[in-house]
Amino acid sequence: MFVPSLVPVQVGTRVYTHLYSRGAGIVMAVHGKESPTTVRSLSRGGAIVSGGSASYDIVFACGSISRRLPEAILRGVQWRIEADKGLASPEEIAFLCTHAAEVEAEKVAAEARAKAEHAAEVEALRVNPDYAHLEQGDDSSGTLAAKNIRRMLKKAFPKVKFSVRKRDYGSVTVQTDEDLDETATETLQAITSRFKSGYYDWQSDCHLTSNSPWQDVFGSSEFVSD
């Protein structure tokens, strides 16, 4: 049975959550008036909750910040209020806030560097004579990817007949009736994998898409099967 924590939360209260690998944190601001007795579970085990009237800003030792976290969530099963560890001092909160700002600044800088590197790779591919036989364009439906896969396979396997078809939006299948040895199979997969934008992210437990510089120039397809 889910029983929400009734411990008063104030600036300096220490908390902990395993969500998103955040770990230990400190409440740095409280918005509104708390109402812990109104927190209720909407699912077995307390993973989904409602109620409460306050929200909290929390800074974490890992360098992240959570803004306006609802009271119901903080008092839910995925969080722990560590009142027994004592309140954090203003100096400790300020230190973590400075650290979080530094982490965010480095994140922004890293994203800018990655974007610049991505753009440079795109431009290099556009003028690379090794890929002059491929068609260029901005297409993620699989149409352009299928065209370029055919051209790359014809160049890599001039004596092998392949069937390359766009079945649905974002789905391309590559088939051949001939038996390929291990080296040829690896070459085939190396070619088709360049165009596949869909992947499974184990950390988030979700299927995601992400375009590489190659895919921005020569097309992509979320699913490519061979």
My answer on whether 145 and 91 are in the same domain is no
pLDDT of residue 23 exceeding 90: yes
Please check whether residue 113 lies inside any domain of the structure: no
DSSP notation for 143-212: HHHHHHHHHHHHHH-TT---EEEEEETTEEEEE-SSPP-HHHHHHHHHHHHTTB-EEEETTTTEEEE---
My answer on whether 94 and 137 are in the same domain is no
Residues 112/127/187/209 CA torsion (nearest 10 deg) = 30
My answer on whether 162 and 221 are in the same domain is yes
Q: pLDDT per residue over 31-53, tens digit each?
A: 999 999 999 988 776 678 899 99
My answer on whether 75 and 18 are in the same domain is yes
Please check whether residue 136 lies inside any domain of the structure: yes
**Which string of b and e fits 69-100 if b means at least 16 CB within 10 Å?**
bbbbbbbbbebbbeeeeeebeeeebeebeebb
pLDDT of residue 94 exceeding 80: yes
Question: Which of 13-17, 137-141, 208-212 is predicted least confidently?
Answer: 208-212
Residue 162, token pair as written in the block: 């392949």
Please check whether residue 31 lies inside any domain of the structure: yes
Q: Are 74 and 55 in contact (CB under 8 A)?
A: no
My answer on whether 170 and 204 are in the same domain is yes
pLDDT of residue 18 exceeding 80: yes
My answer on whether 58 and 98 are in the same domain is yes
Q: Are 142 and 221 in contact (CB under 8 A)?
A: yes
Please check whether residue 8 lies inside any domain of the structure: no
Please give the pLDDT value at position 2: 77
My answer on whether 156 and 215 are in the same domain is yes
Residue 207, token pair as written in the block: 């299927």
* Domain, as residue range, for 179: 128-225
Helix (H), strand (E) counts: the chain: 5, 12
Looking at every residue in the chain, the average pLDDT score rounds to 93
* pTM score, whole prediction: 0.72
Please check whether residue 119 lies inside any domain of the structure: no
What total of structural domains would you count in the chain? Answer: 2
pLDDT of residue 219 exceeding 80: yes
pLDDT of residue 3 exceeding 90: no
Strands 14-17, 23-31: pairing is: antiparallel
My answer on whether 221 and 153 are in the same domain is yes
My answer on whether 39 and 76 are in the same domain is yes
Please check whether residue 132 lies inside any domain of the structure: yes
Please check whether residue 80 lies inside any domain of the structure: yes
My answer on whether 23 and 95 are in the same domain is yes
Q: Which of 75, 37, 32 is nearest to 54 (CA)?
A: 32
Distance CA 99, CA 137 (A): 43
Q: pLDDT per residue over 122-179, tens digit each?
A: 999 999 999 999 999 999 999 999 999 999 999 999 999 999 999 889 899 999 998 9
Q: pLDDT grade, residue 199 (50/70/90)?
A: confident
Please give the pLDDT value at position 200: 75
My answer on whether 213 and 159 are in the same domain is yes
Residues 6 or more apart whose CB falls under 8 angstroms from that of 41 comprise: 2, 48, 49, 76
Cα angle 203-207-213, degrees, rounded to a multiple of 5: 95
Distance CA 71, CA 205 (A): 26
Q: What is the rounded radius of gyration, in angstroms, for the C-alpha atoms of the chain?
A: 26
Please check whether residue 70 lies inside any domain of the structure: yes
My answer on whether 135 and 88 are in the same domain is no
Q: Which of 29, 35, 26 is nearest to 6 (CA)?
A: 35
